[in-house]
Chains A and B, each alone.
Chain A
Amino acid sequence: MGLLSLDDGGMDVTEVLLPGVGLRYEFTSHRGERVGVVARRTGDFELVVYGAVDPDEGRSVLQLDSEEADTLAEILGAPRIAERFADLTKEVPGLVAGQVEVQAGSAYDGQPLGATRARSHTGASIVAVVRGEEVIASPTPQEVLLGGDVLVVIGTHEGIAGVEQIIRG
């Protein structure tokens, strides 16, 4: 039943295939509640909580269509991503995080990340590429950039400004 566990910062999320329907994710909250998320192929989501009497039965708490699920994910997720990078930069004095957008049709739209040689020139690191709802964490130099991508950069103020200059062309 359990196919694989996503290792997300120490939290165990079990992923279970629902043939013909989609996927179910399951984890235990810090208060000991078992939480399940059913992701259907149609894009709909269902949030369930498992009871104590019958641990196999999920009580359906929320049913969301894909747009509602996106909104919820944004509300829950967006500040967390920024927070996480902020925490990281706090640990090293002088290090800040910034965001640089790749304009559609600009020099690096369609080019691999490595072609920017951003790190060699500025010393700043591109730690993530945010593409729509997708976040590509620790992108490789082969990762091809697309117009509209937002690069999450960590470095000094000057370094980030440098990356911005390179990407703008």
Chain B
Amino acid sequence: MRTPVALLLELGVILAALSVLGTLARRFTLSPIPLYLLTGLAVGEGGIAPVPAAGEFVETGAAIGVILLLLVLGLEFSLPEFAVSMRRHVPSALLDVVLNATPGAAAGWLLGMDGIGVLALAGATYISSSGIVARLLSDLRRLGNRETPSVLSVLVIEDCAMALYLPVLAVLASGGVWWQAILGVLAAVGAVLAAFTLSYRWGHHLGRLVAHPDAEQLLLRVLGLTLIVAALTELVHASAAVGAFLVGLTLTGETATRTRAVLSPLRDLFAAVFFLAIGLSVDPADLVPVLPAALALAAVTLVTKVLTGRYAASRDGVGRRGKWRAGTALIARGEFSLIIVGLAGTLHDTLGPLVTAYVFILAIAGPLLTRLAPSRPGPGADAQEGGALAS
């Protein structure tokens, strides 16, 4: 076996750079995702420091990253939590779709994209980043706040909407005549609903198949099963990501909790590689012309997300300050918008750069703005709010 020195060196330098950038971002309670995207841009084609040897690995790693992101999302999903969220927040969820998917769809139409491009862009502006938002709420110590359940409920419903949206988009993006597309969509939606039923009624039995007291065995079994299912769903043009999500859904209870713990470090590594790969796939030269559109779209959907969050919080009887916190918390877009690009980006030249720039803007703006939202009241409220910014 020959050790690929160039690959190891390039990969090592990239990971070291990511770790420095990640630490920097965390210091300011920001998400590291924009910095990962920047790194990808820098080392990609037309960037400042190309990495030819690591390219192939990054590409493979990115595919695994998407699968792990969706698998863990499926593992975190719980039907009872979804049901509780739906009971209270159906109007919030509807408002969320109308307010946030419409600007994306309109932008896609104005930019002259076809139906799939419009659908992809609508999805990219609709979905908040549950990864960034959940982390943010924990970092800012807002989990105990009364507006937090509304924020989390909106996120859970969005994640579930993704479960139906992603397979539909994947099937449509894979092309074919209209009746093939319709059959594909029906099959994909059927598979998701079947997985829900399966996990609800027989989740514990399925869990027993892969459960093992040894962490290594558990990791190998779940990962092996996930990759096989992912490959099969990709084979029928329903996207590997969807297959991984289905596996995550069917595992519940104790097995899901343990799998999450075992997989988390692996997910973090490969998700970083995925963000890197998205940056890598975009030529910085293509980015400049889409910047105005990305900025305008970001500005509009920033406001619409704040409105969504404020409405959801008001349904839970939250006061004025809490409503601002809820609204701003939801602004950040991230991993899902990028996954959507990964599915449909190859079909349109502008879609990839546009959504990358868009996510870049909102993944920075979201955390910054929600820190500006009113919090920590006291006699010297002004001085304290300044302190929260500086710290």
A: which residues have CB within 8 A of B? 1, 3, 16-21, 24, 36, 38, 40-41, 46, 48, 50-51, 53-60
Task: Flag if B257 contacts A41 (CB, 8 Å).
Answer: yes
Given A1-B88, A18-B149, A56-B321, are A36 and B374 neighbors across the interface (CB < 8 Å)?
A: no
The 7 closest A-B pairs by CB, nearest first: A58-B144, A48-B144, A56-B322, A53-B377, A56-B146, A60-B141, A19-B81
Task: Flag if A56 contacts B147 (CB, 8 Å).
Answer: yes
Instruction: Count residues of B near A (Cβ-Cβ below 8 Å).
Output: 38
User: In the assembled complex, which residues on chain B have CB atoms less than 8 Å from the CB atom of A41?
Assistant: 257
Task: Flag if B144 contacts A24 (CB, 8 Å).
Answer: yes
User: In the assembled complex, which residues on chain B have CB atoms less than 8 Å from the CB atom of A24?
Assistant: 143-144, 148-149
| Binary CB contact string for chain B from 316 to 327 against chain A (1 if under 8 A, 0 otherwise) | 111101100100
Task: Flag if A17 contacts B141 (CB, 8 Å).
Answer: no
B: which residues have CB within 8 A of A? 76, 78, 81-82, 84-85, 88, 130, 134, 137-138, 141-150, 152-153, 155-156, 257, 316-319, 321-322, 325, 374-378
Chain A residue nearest in CB terms to B80: A17
User: In the assembled complex, which residues on chain B have CB atoms less than 8 Å from the CB atom of A17?
Assistant: 81, 84, 149
User: In the assembled complex, which residues on chain A have CB atoms less than 8 Å from the CB atom of B318?
Assistant: 56
Q: How far is the CB of A18 from chain B (nearest CB, A)?
A: 6
Contact with B153, one of A19, A36, A54, A58 (Cβ below 8 angstroms): A19
Task: Flag if B322 contacts A54 (CB, 8 Å).
Answer: yes
Task: Flag if B317 contacts A18 (CB, 8 Å).
Answer: no
Q: A18-B152, A57-B146 are in contact. List 15 more A-B contacts (CB 8 A).
A: A1-B88, A1-B150, A1-B317, A3-B84, A17-B81, A19-B149, A19-B152, A21-B138, A21-B152, A24-B148, A50-B146, A53-B377, A57-B142, A57-B376, A59-B376
Q: How far is the CB of A15 from chain B (nearest CB, A)?
A: 11
Q: How far is the CB of B199 from chain A (nearest CB, A)?
A: 16
Task: Flag if A56 contacts B145 (CB, 8 Å).
Answer: yes
Contact with A20, one of B134, B147, B317, B322 (Cβ below 8 angstroms): B134
Given A1-B88, A1-B149, are A20 and B81 neighbors across the interface (CB < 8 Å)?
A: yes
Q: Please list 16 pairs of residues, one from A and one from B, whose beta carbons are closer than 8 Å in the complex, sorted by A's number.
A: A1-B316, A18-B143, A19-B81, A19-B84, A19-B156, A24-B144, A38-B144, A54-B321, A54-B374, A56-B321, A56-B325, A57-B142, A57-B145, A57-B321, A58-B144, A58-B146
User: In the assembled complex, which residues on chain B have CB atoms less than 8 Å from the CB atom of A56?
Assistant: 145-147, 318-319, 321-322, 325
User: In the assembled complex, which residues on chain A have CB atoms less than 8 Å from the CB atom of B325?
Assistant: 56-57
User: In the assembled complex, which residues on chain B have CB atoms less than 8 Å from the CB atom of A51?
Assistant: 377
